[in-house]
Chains A and B, each alone.
Chain A
Amino acid sequence: MAYSDKVLDHYSHPRNVGAMDKSSADVGTGLVGAPECGDVMKLQIKVNPTTNVIEDAKFKTFGCGSAIASSSLATEWVKGKTIDEALEIKNTEIVKELALPPVKIHCSVLAEDAIRAAIGDWKKKQEAIKGAPVATPVHAD
């Protein structure tokens, strides 16, 4: 199985591995996938409550090299973006950046799902704090 240089790079030097405090008000946690499928991603974001900018991101992944690379790249890309900008990230962009073969496209989809799940979790927390509904992320297919 041939891996692109970028996948190998992310695999050997993954960015932003780690964990944040789930209970913190500024942290959104997304957990997607399932062990039986061989792919589980946990992606966490720390959002500045005034500017809505994602200041930090961390990930952990159980999965193949392409899955690890996809989630590592996802944390790189969301950092510095606003929530709305992060929601624009498409899995096809991940596929292109990492040169994923067709059989590994689902890894990029899962990474996009992880970003949305993390944002969704953060938004729910903000709702609970402010007591007002926040628009839920639209899942663009």
Chain B
Amino acid sequence: MTTPNAAVPNAAILDQTVTAEGVKLPVYMDNHATTPVDPRVLDEMLPYFREKFGNSASRNHPFGWAAEEGVEQARERIAKLIGATAKEIIFTSGATESNNLAIKGIAEMYREKGNHIITQVTEHKAVLDTCKHLEKLGYRVTYLPVAKDGLIDLEELKRAIDDKTILVSIMAASNEIGVLQPIAEIGAICHERGVIFHTDAVQAVGKIPIDVNKMNIDILSITAHKLYGPKGVGALYVRRKNPRVQISAQIDGGGHERGMRSGTLNVPGIVGLGKACEICMNDMAEDTKRILALRKRLYDKIMGALDECYVNGSMEHRLPGNMNISFAYVEGESLLMGINDVAVSSGSACTSATLEPSYVLKALGAGDDLAHSSIRFGLGRFNTEAEVDYVANKLIDTVTRLRELSPLYEMAKEGIDLKTVKWAAEPAH
């Protein structure tokens, strides 16, 4: 067993060591960044690399027909998972493209009707950056704030909708803090006011029940690699009835996917996405139960051993596998260094390259120092109790050790209110 806090050399990445308790290292607990491909998904995909390699748009021979069959079966499976019809599913290269297509596609199509879009501050960059781009083109975007628990205020949404509003885009579940927005209520409001409702449901699909009709969702983004499917493939649900929603294609060239998204389909990827959705539908209840128990175990162990740990975002409205905790007086990167045979994130995966304080945590009102001290755990289908125990123990050891090293912890224990301290001016970063 590796000694606690022994620095693991950088190079020894995925050579699997196994602890005395049978835990394979490194442990993967970052399922919001991506998920391992389920073996059943891979099995389903392989024939489409081997014998069934045809282009699904080849109408005239068995190679094309076999590929098309695989694609259409996948379409059905995805539709079933979210309560849609197969005709309403189109395929993309992933969530970022789906979000771009949804938002830009609506903005362009409904330009005559209006130029106002409503979204919120903790959306994924794929949505926020797309909105910023549209602002440069003359669209008006309202970014709704969130409360301390990470949720938007429905009354504020109602007030924000005006006669030029053509789209509301609110994510179903946050990738960083796992918080679940009130999608059904938002859908009802939008439906009543005649505004199209898009949701980036990338983290939610397959993990919590989604029904596009019950929830009044008009467009919805999905990606395979967050639900145990392969990277490089996603989908967009586009409502056909009540109301019929139209989007302007962002990629031209052949008119595939009912003219909404040209390009030869990633057949094996799509087959994988379809199978992943089918598995999620069948296993959701069981997986949820098990993952919730694992999360509770992790939470209880950490909170039982350490003081001054703060959960970021609502615990009540949250994805089963997500835990995001700030460990006061300990800096995030040094924390990650101490648990470097555990794969988790500090801040969102997309911003960890710069290690800037997470914009999502700042939106919750967390101070910069708590944002710097946060760790995001993403539990998933393949995590075990033994892994949770290993991670919890390693984390507790590291936080304890780093607090011994921390002048802030020392000052706090002396009763000094850190907010009142005048810190020495230091060179700007």
List A contacts of B407 (CB < 8 A): 31, 40-42, 60-62
- Shortest Cβ gap from A140 to chain B (Å): 15
- Shortest Cβ gap from B190 to chain A (Å): 38
List B contacts of A117 (CB < 8 A): 424
Q: Closest chain A residue to B352 by CB distance?
A: A1
The contact of B426 among A37, A61, A64, by CB within 8 Å, is A37
Assuming the contacts A60-B407, A62-B406, asked whether A32 and B333 have C-beta atoms less than 8 A apart, the reply is no
**Distance between Cα atoms of A31 and B408 in the complex (Å):** 11
Assuming the contacts A11-B334, A12-B7, asked whether A61 and B405 have C-beta atoms less than 8 A apart, the reply is yes
The contact of B423 among A8, A35, A65, A67, by CB within 8 Å, is A35
- Shortest Cβ gap from A36 to chain B (Å): 4
Which of A45-53, A79-87, A105-113, A125-133 is the interface stretch?
A105-113
Task: Say whether B337 contacts A11, CB under 8 Å.
Answer: yes
Assuming the contacts A12-B7, A17-B404, asked whether A65 and B334 have C-beta atoms less than 8 A apart, the reply is yes
Residue B368 is within 8 A (CB to CB) of chain A in the complex:
yes
Q: Mark B89-103, 1 if CB is under 8 A from A, else 0.
A: 000000000000000
Chain B 329-386 interface residues, beta-carbon cutoff 8 Å to A: 329-331, 333-334, 337-338, 355, 357, 367-369, 372
Assuming the contacts A12-B5, A60-B407, A61-B405, asked whether A33 and B426 have C-beta atoms less than 8 A apart, the reply is yes
The contact of B331 among A2, A9, A19, A63, by CB within 8 Å, is A63
Chain B 380-410 interface residues, beta-carbon cutoff 8 Å to A: 404-410
List A contacts of B409 (CB < 8 A): 62
Chain A interface size, as a band, is 35 or more
Q: Closest chain A residue to B330 by CB distance?
A: A62
Residue A38 is within 8 A (CB to CB) of chain B in the complex:
yes
- Shortest Cβ gap from B355 to chain A (Å): 8
Task: Say whether B333 contacts A65, CB under 8 Å.
Answer: yes
Q: Which of B331, B357, B410 has the most CB of A within 10 A?
A: B331
Q: Mark A1-20, 1 if CB is under 8 A from B, else 0.
A: 11100001101101001010
Residue A134 is within 8 A (CB to CB) of chain B in the complex:
no
Assuming the contacts A65-B333, A68-B405, asked whether A33 and B6 have C-beta atoms less than 8 A apart, the reply is no
Chain B interface size, as a band, is 20 to 34
Task: Say whether B426 contacts A113, CB under 8 Å.
Answer: yes
The contact of A3 among B5, B10, B330, B408, by CB within 8 Å, is B10
**Distance between Cα atoms of A41 and B407 in the complex (Å):** 7
Task: Say whether A17 contacts B405, CB under 8 Å.
Answer: yes
Task: Say whether B408 contacts A19, CB under 8 Å.
Answer: no
Residue B418 is within 8 A (CB to CB) of chain A in the complex:
yes
**Distance between Cα atoms of A106 and B404 in the complex (Å):** 23
Residue A25 is within 8 A (CB to CB) of chain B in the complex:
no
Residue B59 is within 8 A (CB to CB) of chain A in the complex:
no
Assuming the contacts A11-B334, A65-B337, A113-B426, asked whether A60 and B405 have C-beta atoms less than 8 A apart, the reply is yes
* 8 chain-A/chain-B pairs, Cβ below 8 angstroms: A17-B404, A34-B423, A35-B367, A40-B407, A61-B407, A62-B405, A64-B334, A67-B331
Please name 17 further chain A to chain B contacts, defined as beta carbons within 8 Å, in addition to the given A17-B404, A39-B426, A65-B334, sorted by A numbering: A3-B337, A32-B424, A33-B426, A34-B423, A35-B367, A37-B429, A38-B331, A38-B333, A39-B331, A60-B406, A60-B410, A61-B405, A62-B408, A63-B334, A106-B429, A109-B427, A117-B424
